[in-house]
Amino acid sequence: MSTEATVIGGGVIGLTCALELARAGHDVTVLTADPIAETTSAVAAAIWFPYEAAPADAVLRWSTESAAAFVGLAADSSAGVALRTGTVLERSTAPDRWWTPAVPGHRVIPGEELSSGVTSGVRCTVPVIDMGSYLPWLARRCEATGVRVIRRRVDDLAEVTGELIVVAAGLRSAALTGDAPLIPLRGQVVRVANPGLTDWLIDDDNPAGMTYVVPRFEDVVCGGTAEPGSFDTAVDPETERAILERCYDLVPELRGAPILSRGVGLRPTRPSVRLEALPGARRIICCYGHGGAGVTLSWGCAREVAALAGRA
């Protein structure tokens, strides 16, 4: 007899948890307040990079496992995953490279080979995930494994049936579990037509504001912002102008590229990712607070959730 499991949240964490639970033999339902295409996950630039997530040891473990999963998915043309080479720019004389053990073959390059004001950089190849393709692919995999996805907002866990509940509802997760509130970390992006770029750039310490350029297939995601505590999901034109100027400075080939779309996402942030089973009569597993690294940690965290749940 399979265990009846309910996953609350239809973003990348919730769907990946649902898929891993179904593969372990559970009877899984996903309850999502928003359409999958309108979740915070849909806005993500979704380059593999453990941004704003802790603790370091667990994040390194989860992100390493996720990287291996995405490398495997790059062979599936329908998944929207590509392996791209790029550079993390560093502006400190003592950069923190705690994440590099997860990236085989990375190399450090001197600042004189890079932009003005950059002291060094890390050159590496990582997965880049086009969420417009990947989220539908993930939803199809869930459906093929027997997962049901239902549009329904949950305000109280007492409303939810099932022997096992996984709370993966992004910013709303803490209210469901009685945890300290999650803090939104507002991110704004603009997507432009790809003029033929394949290399990505990440410049988190840019003095003018965090900047990243992530070429996917037909577009390039230009970002960004990291505004703690802001719940504003409206696109700000002045912020967009500043983002584009920073990106043009780093990658002049982007200047003049047509704007295709734009978006804002609220990254669910807490001092550390919460992935644990709660004590009590009901089996409840928390999996939230991934900050800006939900996609990057998704497979590793989902497999840990499945391990906590056990086989049906």
pTM of the model: 0.95
Average confidence score pLDDT of the chain = 95
**Which band of pLDDT confidence, cut at 50, 70 and 90, is reported for residue 311?**
confident
Positive or negative, the CA dihedral 70, 220, 45, 35 is: negative
Handedness of CA 206, 52, 82, 190 (dihedral sign): negative
Q: Model confidence over 107-116: pLDDT tens digits?
A: 999 999 998 8
SS3 31: strand
Nearest to 296 by CA among 21, 71, 24: 71
Residues 193 and 258 sit within 8 Å (Cβ to Cβ):
yes
Is it true that the peptide bond before 55 is cis, omega within 30 degrees of 0? yes
Structure confidence at residue 280 (pLDDT): 85
Mean pLDDT of 84-111: 95
**Euclidean distance between the first and final Cα of the chain, in Å?**
7
Contact 221, 106 (CB under 8 A): no
Whose tokens are 């310490």? That residue is 205
Q: How confident is the model at residue 101 (pLDDT cuts 50, 70, 90)?
A: very high
| Proportion of the chain above pLDDT 90, given as a percent | 92
CA dihedral sign, ordered 221, 188, 99, 139: negative
Q: Average pLDDT, stretch 11-38?
A: 97
Helices (H), ranges, the chain: 12-23, 56-73, 131-144, 173-177, 237-250, 294-309
DSSP-assigned letter for residue 112: G
38 Cβ neighbours under 8 A, 6+ residues apart: none
pLDDT in the model for residue 281:
82
Rounded CA separation 113/115 (Å): 7
Amino acid 108: pLDDT: 97
* Nearest partner of 17 among 171, 150, 186, 142, judged by Cα: 142
Q: Residue 214's closest CA among 77, 97, 44, 76?
A: 44
Confidence of residue 312 (pLDDT cuts 50, 70, 90): low
Residue 269 has pLDDT above 80, yes or no: yes
Arithmetic mean of pLDDT, 207-218: 95
DSSP string, 77-89: TTTTEEEEEEEEE
Residue 51 DSSP label: T
Q: What percent of the chain has pLDDT over 70?
A: 99
pLDDT tens per residue, range 182-201: 999 999 999 999 999 999 99
Q: What is the phi/psi pair of residue 296, to 5°? A: -60, -35
Alpha-carbon distance of 248 to 242, in angstroms, equals 10
Task: Specify which residues 28 forms β-bridges with.
Answer: 5
Q: Give the model's pLDDT for residue 100.
A: 95
Which pLDDT score is estimated for 302?
A: 98
Residue 173 has pLDDT above 80, yes or no: yes
pLDDT, tens only, 29-48:
999 999 999 999 999 989 99
pLDDT > 90? residue 154: yes
User: For residue 7, is pLDDT > 70?
Assistant: yes
